[in-house]
Structure 1
Amino acid sequence: MISMTQNNVEKWGTYEITLKGKAEGNPFTDVEIKAVFTSEAGDSFEVEGFYDGEDTFKIRFMPNRTGLWKYEVRSDIKDLDGMKGEFLCVDPSEGNHGPVRVCNTYHFCYEDGTPYHPFGTTLYAWVHQREELIQQTLESLRNSPFNKVRMCVFPKYYAYNREEPPMLPMSWREEDGRYQVEFNVKFFQHFERLVKELMDMGIEADVILFHPYDKWGFCSMPEEVDKAYLRYLIARISSYRNVWWSMANEYDLIKPQKDWDGYFHFIVEKDPYNHLRSVHQCFKFYDHTKPWITHASIQWQGSLRSWSGEPEIDIGINLIPKWREMYKKPVIIDECGYEGNIEYGWGNLPPQEMMNRFWEGVTSGGYVTHGETYYSEDEVLWWSKGGRLKGESPKRIAFLRTIIEEAPPFLKPIKLDPMMDWDVHCIGKEGEYYLIYFDINRPVKRTLKLPEGKYRVDLVDCWETEIHSLGIFQGQVVIRLPGKSYVALRIQKMENNDDWIILREDAKL
Structure 2
Amino acid sequence: MTVEQWDVCELRLEGPADGNPYTDVRLGARFQYRNRVVDTDGFYDGDGVYRVRFMPDRPGLWRYVTRSDSPALDGRRGTFECTPARPGNNGPVRATGSAFRYADGTRYLPVGTTCYHWTHDLDEDLERHTLDALAASPFNKVRMCLLPTAEMAPPLIAFAGDTPGQLDKTRFNPAFFAHFERRLRDLLALGIQADVILFHPYDRGHWGVDDMTPEEDAFLLRYVLARLSAFRHVWWSIANEYDFNHAKTVEDWDRLGRFVQRHDPYQHLRSIHNGTKMYTYERIYDFSKPWTTHQSIQHWDASLTGRWLAACGKPVVIDEIGYEGKVGRRWGNITGRTLVRQFWHGFAAGGSVGHGECYPAQDPDGAAWISIGGRLRGDSVERIAFLRGLLEEGPDDLAAARREGSYLLEYFGDHQHAYREVTLPPGADYRVDLIDTWNMAVTELDGVWQGSVRVELKGRPDMAVRIRRTG
Is 1:66 matched up with 2:59? yes
Alignment of 1:280-291 (within 5 A): 280-283=273-276, 284-291=283-290
Find the aligned partners of 1:88 and 1:27 in 2 and give their Cα distance: 31
Find the aligned partners of 1:252 and 1:172 in 2 and give their Cα distance: 28
Is 1:491 matched up with 2:467? yes
Alignment TM-score, normalising by the size of structure 1: 0.85
With over 3 angstroms needed to count, the CA separation of the structure-2 counterparts of 1:168 and 1:431, relative to structure 1, is: closer
Percent identity over the alignment is: 45
Is 1:169 matched up with 2:169? no
Aligned residues: 451
Find the aligned partners of 1:224 and 1:90 in 2 and give their Cα distance: 39
- Partner residue of 1:354? 339
- Partner residue of 2:435? 460
Find the aligned partners of 1:213 and 1:27 in 2 and give their Cα distance: 30
- Partner residue of 2:28? 34
Alignment of 1:383-398 (within 5 A): 383-398=370-385
- Among candidates 200, 204, 218, match of residue 227 of structure 1: 218
Secondary structure of the 1:269 match is: helix
Quick check: 1:172–1:225 contact (8 Å CA) kept in 2? no
- Partner residue of 2:280? none
Cα displacement (A) at 1:327: 1.9
Range moving further from structure 2, 486-495 or 450-459: 450-459
Is 1:472 matched up with 2:457? no
Quick check: 1:23–1:31 contact (8 Å CA) kept in 2? no
Alignment of 1:258-273 (within 5 A): 259-273=252-266
Secondary structure of the 2:210 match is: helix
Secondary structure of the 2:318 match is: strand
Quick check: 1:456–1:473 contact (8 Å CA) kept in 2? yes
Find the aligned partners of 2:254 and 2:402 in 1 and give their Cα distance: 36
Find the aligned partners of 1:127 and 1:242 in 2 and give their Cα distance: 17
Alignment of 1:103-502 (within 5 A): 103=96, 105-129=97-121, 130-157=123-150, 162-171=151-160, 181-214=170-203, 215-257=206-248, 259-283=252-276, 284-301=283-300, 303-304=301-302, 318-376=303-361, 379-412=366-399, 428=402, 430-450=404-424, 451-475=426-450, 476-495=452-471
Q: Structure 2: any 5+ residue segments left out of the alignment?
A: 163-167, 277-282
Find the aligned partners of 2:228 and 2:181 in 1 and give their Cα distance: 6
Find the aligned partners of 1:469 and 1:280 in 2 and give their Cα distance: 39
Quick check: 2:159–2:169 contact (8 Å CA) kept in 1? no
Cα displacement (A) at 1:338: 0.4
- Partner residue of 1:309? none
Cα displacement (A) at 1:330: 1.0
Tell me the amino acid that sits aligned with residue 430 of structure 1.
E
Cα displacement (A) at 1:325: 2.0
Alignment of 1:3-18 (within 5 A): 7-18=1-12
Find the aligned partners of 2:139 and 2:195 in 1 and give their Cα distance: 12
Tell me the amino acid that sits aligned with residue 456 of structure 1.
R
Quick check: 1:172–1:181 contact (8 Å CA) kept in 2? no
Cα displacement (A) at 1:369: 0.6
Show CA shifts across 1:157-192 (max 9, x none).
3xxxx441121210489xxxxx86111100001111
Alignment TM-score, normalising by the size of structure 2: 0.92
Find the aligned partners of 2:294 and 2:128 in 1 and give their Cα distance: 31
Secondary structure of the 1:126 match is: coil
Output the aligned Cα RMSD.
1.7
Quick check: 1:338–1:373 contact (8 Å CA) kept in 2? yes
Tell me the amino acid that sits aligned with residue 169 of structure 1.
A
Q: Structure 1: any 5+ residue segments left out of the alignment?
A: 1-6, 174-178, 305-317, 414-426, 496-509
Secondary structure of the 1:408 match is: coil
Quick check: 1:206–1:243 contact (8 Å CA) kept in 2? yes
Tell me the amino acid that sits aligned with residue 346 of structure 1.
W
Quick check: 1:136–1:387 contact (8 Å CA) kept in 2? yes
Range moving further from structure 2, 72-81 or 443-452: 443-452
Quick check: 2:59–2:84 contact (8 Å CA) kept in 1? yes
Larger radius of gyration: 1
Tell me the amino acid that sits aligned with residue 329 of structure 2.
Y
Cα displacement (A) at 1:447: 2.1
Show CA shifts across 1:362-394 (max 9, x none).
112211111110132753210111000000101
Find the aligned partners of 1:429 and 1:297 in 2 and give their Cα distance: 23
